[in-house]
A and B are shown apart, each in its own frame.
Chain A
């Protein structure tokens, strides 16, 4: 009970405090102001205000008046952005494509070289007479089939069976 009463007292005190915070100032200085007005200012104000309102641009007027210019500027900007985007993306595609082609070429060349080397190696292993013994039709090596050659080489353990991947 005592606590509640003291809270009430505190609140009352706070209330009074805020009401009199400017009391000293008002007692000493009052609330008059040093400002003056031309004669008849408030009598003329409604007429002048309505005049200003009649001559004032409507809200959004500036935007509407300049709409064409704004739209034209926006269109030019978008076109320029589109052109720049296209030019730069094309350049990068061409460069990438050229790079790809050159990579494929050199890869193919490498495969071809390897193939040539492989064939040369394999051919060095071939014994013509032995090939004849595998019932070849003639001893002209150029006319011997690839399969016959492969059979011979496998039989003689010159090569192991392997899967050749096509590139």
Chain B
């Protein structure tokens, strides 16, 4: 298992920066990618957001103060990039931000590289009906199985609020799936 301290040490030296960055990618790229993909759905969009995230990580890792875990910082950067992308895309398409779920839900049906069985598609569509930030919390808790404390470090919301948000999200999805 690659140690975060080693990654940071290598990334902070000019001669070993690329090596440190490669180790970081080896350890975290899949988690980051799927976190972004669950937000934006389409693979091409996820790839764009991933590239932007990695550029930000490259320029920001030297300033990383280590007051949080490395992966919570990475998640935070990826989350901000994904949310910015969603807002920008909806502005371009003149879709109200609250209705973004419908747009994204259509991508489940129309996007290449989205197949899977009916059950997982149904679940994803139901998750997409949640507001962006609640969807974010749901994804991190349900799919990534992160602890509330870790999610709190990413989104900056209290643990209590997150618990309530997740509980409501689950209830909404259950209701949505029952309707379907």
Chain A, residue nearest B126 (CB): A29
A32 touches B116 (CB 8 A): yes
Q: Mark B4-35, 1 if CB is under 8 A from A, else 0.
A: 00000000000000100110011001100110
CA–CA, A34 and B173, complex, Å: 17
For chain B, the count of residues having a C-beta within 8 Å of the partner chain is 41
Residues 156 to 176 of chain B near chain A (Cβ within 8 Å): 163, 166-167, 170, 173-174
CA–CA, A102 and B161, complex, Å: 74
Q: Flag whether B38 is at the interface (Cβ < 8 A).
A: yes
Residues of B within 8 A of A37 (CB): 43, 113
CA–CA, A34 and B116, complex, Å: 4
CA–CA, A38 and B22, complex, Å: 21
Chain B, residue nearest A32 (CB): B120
- Give chain A nearest CB distance to B175 CB in angstroms: 11
Residues of A within 8 A of B173 (CB): 25
Residues of A within 8 A of B115 (CB): 34, 36
Chain B, residue nearest A36 (CB): B113
Chain A, residue nearest B141 (CB): A22
Residues 63 to 100 of chain B near chain A (Cβ within 8 Å): none
Given known A-B contacts A45-B50, A50-B21, A52-B51, A34 and B58 have beta carbons under 8 A apart:
no
B114 touches A25 (CB 8 A): no
Chain B, residue nearest A56 (CB): B55
Partner of A52, one of B25, B55, B143: B55
- Give chain A nearest CB distance to B44 CB in angstroms: 10
Q: Flag whether A88 is at the interface (Cβ < 8 A).
A: no
Chain B, residue nearest A53 (CB): B58
CA–CA, A26 and B173, complex, Å: 12
CA–CA, A110 and B26, complex, Å: 98
Residues of B within 8 A of A50 (CB): 18, 21
Candidate in A25, A26, A31, A58 with the most chain B CB atoms within 10 angstroms: A25
Candidate in A35, A46, A48 with the most chain B CB atoms within 10 angstroms: A35
Residues of B within 8 A of A33 (CB): 34, 37-38, 116, 120, 124, 143
Residues of B within 8 A of A22 (CB): 141-142, 166, 170
Given known A-B contacts A29-B120, A42-B33, A35 and B51 have beta carbons under 8 A apart:
no
Q: Flag whether A49 is at the interface (Cβ < 8 A).
A: yes
Residues of B within 8 A of A31 (CB): 142-143
Q: Flag whether B153 is at the interface (Cβ < 8 A).
A: no
B33 touches A53 (CB 8 A): no
Show 12 A/B contacts (Cβ-Cβ < 8 Å), sorted by A. Answer: A18-B163, A24-B174, A25-B123, A34-B114, A35-B38, A36-B116, A38-B43, A46-B26, A49-B21, A49-B51, A58-B59, A59-B59
Q: Give me the 10 closest cross-chain CB pairs, A-B, nearest first.
A: A34-B116, A36-B113, A49-B54, A29-B123, A34-B120, A46-B25, A34-B121, A53-B58, A52-B51, A56-B55
Known pairs A18-B163, A36-B116, A49-B51 / 4 extra A-B pairs, C-beta < 8 Å: A24-B174, A30-B120, A45-B29, A56-B55
